[in-house]
Amino acid sequence: MNEAFVQLVCPECLKDWEADPTGLPSPDASFSCPDCGEDRRLSEFMRTDRDLEVLRELTD
Ligand SMILES: [Zn+2]
């Protein structure tokens, strides 16, 4: 149903959620966990390589 969505997981608090990648910044942009505020590159929040690939395809 939400095939275009990507799965994210916070490397710090392990919160997981999904998001529309068209609303996300590029994989190398810094991103803050909405739960614990951990600040890392967005690529580090991608749950799987597939999610990272989808993100790369839809962002510049
Ligand atoms: Zn977190």
Written as tens digits, the pLDDT of the chain (60 aa) is 456 899 999 999 999 999 999 999 999 999 999 999 999 999 999 999 999 999 999 886
pTM: 0.89
Query: In angstroms, rounded to a whole number, what is the distance separating the alpha carbons of residues 18 and 54?
Result: 13
Neighbours of ion ligand 1 (CB under 5 A): 10, 12-13, 15, 33, 35-36, 38
Q: What is the 3-state secondary structure (H, E, C) of 2-19?
A: CCCCEEEECCCCCCEEEE
| Model pLDDT, residue 4 | 83
Residue 46 CB coordination number (10 Å):
22
44 CA to middle of ligand 1, Å?
11
What radius of gyration do the chain's Cα atoms show? 10
